[in-house]
Amino acid sequence: MRERIYLPVVRFGVPHTDWKYVFVVTLCGFVLPFVLNIKLYGVPAPMFTGVSALALSVAFFNFIRIGRRPLWFQHTCGALLVSSRERAALPVDGLNEAWLEETDDLGQGTKRRDERKTGRTQVFRFEHL
């Protein structure tokens, strides 16, 4: 029991740090249809939208947390929004860059080749900066 004292409190699979977002989404899903006076077949929409917003937000936070590494969602969104030239290289990024070229024994640049096919050294030239 003592080793679990620093673990986050989890309700419905959502840690206590994310419940503020669940609360805000649920509140918006309940209040906005009231403000806009939306009705579905004569029934006030907040009866359905509040509970639906709660269920969807809990399901979303369970999806991004359970079975994933910490900060998976933040890193995935960052990778989608930032181009590969502005971030660090990922394993899925190819090394087919113009500044990556093979050199001969004199240090002169020659035409590029696939680095896996040859055992020669690669020189990084930063002349494009």
| Residue 124 placed within a domain | yes
Three-state DSSP at 113 gives: coil
pLDDT at 22 over 80: yes
64 shares its domain with 107:
no
Mark whether 52 and 14 lie in a shared domain.
yes
Do 10 and 52 belong together in one domain? yes
Would you say residue 90 lies in a domain?
no
Total domains in the chain come to 2
Q: Which run of H or of E encompasses 10?
A: strand 10-11
Question: Which range of residues forms the domain containing residue 127?
Answer: 95-129
Q: Determine which helix (DSSP H) or strand (DSSP E) holds 93, and give its type and residue range.
A: none
Stronger pLDDT, 77 or 10, i.e. the higher one: 77
Q: Are residues 52 and 20 in the same domain?
A: yes
User: Can you tell me which residue has the tokens 């660090």?
Assistant: 88
Residue 86 included in any domain: no
Regarding pTM above 0.75, the answer is no
Domain-located, residue 74? yes
For residue range 86-120, list pLDDT tens digits in order: 767 666 666 665 555 555 555 555 555 554 555 55
Strand, helix or coil at 16? coil
- pLDDT tens digits for range 54-80: 999 999 988 988 888 888 888 888 888
Same-domain pairing of 10 and 61: yes
Residue 47 falls inside a structural domain: yes
The length of the chain, given as a count of residues = 129
